[in-house]
Amino acid sequence: AVENYRARNPRSAALLAEAEQSLPGGNTRSVLFHGPFPLSMARGEGCRVWDADGHAYIDALGEFTAGLYGHSHPVILAAIQEALAGGINLSSHTAREARLAQEIRRRFPSMELLRFANSGTEANLLALAAAKAHTGRSKVIVFDGAYHGGVLTFAGGGSPMNVPHAFVLARYNDVDSVRTLVAEHGPDIAAILVEPMLGAGGCIPGEPGFLQALRTLADECGAMLVFDEVMTSRLSFGGRQALLSIRPDLTTAGKYLGGGMSFGVFGGRRDVMERFDPRRPDALAHAGTFNNNVLSMAAGHAGLSQVLTAEVVQALNARGEQLRERFNAVFAQHGVDMGFTGIGSLMTLHATAGPVRSPADLQGTDGRAKDLLFFGLLEEGVFMARRGLIALSLPVGDAECDALVAALDAVVARHRAVLP
Ligand code: PMP
């Protein structure tokens, strides 16, 4: 499969070699790298992308959830063009940021006040800063396998690049592991930071009882419960918190909420967020040249106000739910012990049919089987993440879903003998 890939993609290989002269590994976004070399995409339209060697794909990755609107949504394009025409660097507030803020608040009522940033990573860093300032405490409970940004990575326990917060690590979907940490560190804990579904960790849903217990434990020890909804905010009109009726103290999000432009947002309880009011003597100064950049503000507002109604959100996730069931039926039909986990429009392929409750359940599963399907699906014209993530975008319709299922069926049939 890898030899076919090399042969099919000489231009992508050459572009990587060229990039290597200036960028380490030819890369400026580590998640995109994989052996023998990642594809270089030339353009996208609707839910399709074309690589540098001219192959067409159904884009099943949707820019890791930021590309929810697809590549050429007329409403997004018009909003960006209109904003561009009015000047993009105005050195001041504009009417746009309050409009987008209101639209986000309408969807996520727990965000009584909010602020913008340039990425989900930044949003999480700022939410933690707010939690620490509000509580006067220093420790943060996080979960093994969680991803909150390039400097907040907890796969395999952590990363040497992580910001030097006083993190204490619990196990996902394991209430007792959190209870133990709360008993030990309770009066020092500023925040419990959690993804309501582990995203990069493999689309592993947080169990409702687990997430509800975090709410209770945070209240018991006086810590802020921070939901990182950077990936999960799309799972309903009001994110996973609305689905579960859990009100976090702080929420972080980003991705598609900026209409596909650089974006992050953090917000929550009024009494916590009011510390960012610059008129206060004890104000937390949160600066950032591009926090209110007009392109993100315009694209984000247009998408939310004109495209992403509650009905559209629901339909997208229902489509994803159905697709995941069909994918898993393919594995079952072929007697293959693999499967997709996830919720709604987000899913990740694993080399086990499950159950998968935490990253520990994935240890020892066959990574090569996933690779084989990844390269096989590329040959069938399906573009997904090497690690197995699929994030549906709005232009993915019935015909594309049928094509995705047929592609998986063909690849699994072809490689049946070597799959688990
Ligand atoms: N949190 C989660 C749950 C994410 O999935 C991501 C990005 N994949 C981030 C934070 C970081 O967002 P960004 O890439 O915009 O910095």
CATH number at residue 136: 3.40.640.10
Domain of residue 10 covers 2-68+309-418
- Based on the fold, state whether residues 182 and 82 are members of the same structural domain: yes
Q: Which of 259, 281, 307 is the last residue of a domain?
A: 307
Ligand 1: does its nearest atom lie under 6 Å from the Cβ of 254? yes
Q: Which of 280, 307, 334 is the last residue of a domain?
A: 307
- Based on the fold, state whether residues 188 and 260 are members of the same structural domain: yes
- Based on the fold, state whether residues 139 and 232 are members of the same structural domain: yes
Ligand 1: does its nearest atom lie under 6 Å from the Cβ of 240? no
3-state helix, strand, coil split of the chain in percent (to 5) is 45, 15, 35
Answer whether 329's CB lies under 8 Å from 344's CB: no
- Based on the fold, state whether residues 130 and 83 are members of the same structural domain: yes
- Based on the fold, state whether residues 183 and 330 are members of the same structural domain: no
Q: Which of 126, 159, 162, 230 to mutate to test the pocket of ligand 1 (most atoms within 8 A of CB)?
A: 230
Burial class (CB within 10 angstroms; exposed 0-12, middle 13-18, buried 19+) of 150: middle
DSSP E strands: which ranges in 195-263? 197-198, 204-205, 224-228, 250-254
Complex confidence, ipTM: 0.99
- Based on the fold, state whether residues 79 and 57 are members of the same structural domain: no
For residue 159, what pLDDT is reported? 94
Cα separation, 188 vs 193, whole angstroms: 14
Atom 13, ligand 1: which residue's CA is nearest? 120
CATH number at residue 40: 3.90.1150.10
Q: Which two tokens stand for residue 305?
A: 């106000």
- Based on the fold, state whether residues 389 and 378 are members of the same structural domain: yes
- Based on the fold, state whether residues 87 and 212 are members of the same structural domain: yes
Ligand 1: does its nearest atom lie under 6 Å from the Cβ of 119? yes
Answer whether 59's CB lies under 8 Å from 383's CB: yes
Dmax over CA atoms of the chain, in Å, equals 68
Which residue type does 295 have? Answer: L
CA 157 remoteness from chain centre: 20
Answer whether 375's CB lies under 8 Å from 8's CB: no
For residue 1, what pLDDT is reported? 87
Cα-to-centroid distance, 146 and ligand 1 (Å)? 10
| Structural element, H or E, at residue 309 | none
- Based on the fold, state whether residues 82 and 43 are members of the same structural domain: no
Cα-to-centroid distance, 198 and ligand 1 (Å)? 11
Q: Which of 30, 121, 233 to mutate to test the pocket of ligand 1 (most atoms within 8 A of CB)?
A: 121
From residue 134, alpha-carbon distances to 66, 215, 268 in Å are 30, 17, 12
Q: Which of 262, 288, 307 is the last residue of a domain?
A: 307
- Based on the fold, state whether residues 53 and 166 are members of the same structural domain: no
Which residue type does 196 have? Answer: P
DSSP E strands: which ranges in 232-321? 250-254, 264-268
Total domain count, the chain: 2
pTM of the model: 0.98
What is the pLDDT tens value at each position of the chain, 420 positions in all? 899 999 999 999 999 999 999 999 999 999 999 999 999 999 999 999 999 999 999 999 999 999 999 999 999 999 999 999 999 999 999 999 999 999 999 999 999 999 999 999 999 999 999 999 999 999 999 999 999 999 999 998 899 999 999 999 999 999 999 999 999 999 999 999 999 999 999 999 999 999 999 999 999 999 999 999 999 999 999 999 999 999 999 999 999 999 999 999 999 999 999 999 999 999 999 999 999 999 999 999 999 999 999 999 999 999 999 999 999 999 999 999 999 999 999 999 999 999 999 999 999 999 999 999 999 999 999 999 999 999 999 999 999 999 999 999 999 999 999 999
Q: What does the DSSP assignment read for 160-202?
A: TTS---EEEEE-TT-HHHHHHHHHHHGGGEEEEEE-SEESTTT
Q: What does the chain come to in residues?
A: 420
- Based on the fold, state whether residues 412 and 328 are members of the same structural domain: yes
From residue 338, alpha-carbon distances to 207, 287, 304, 370, 415 in Å are 21, 46, 36, 9, 13
- Based on the fold, state whether residues 244 and 315 are members of the same structural domain: no
Supply the DSSP symbol for 13: H
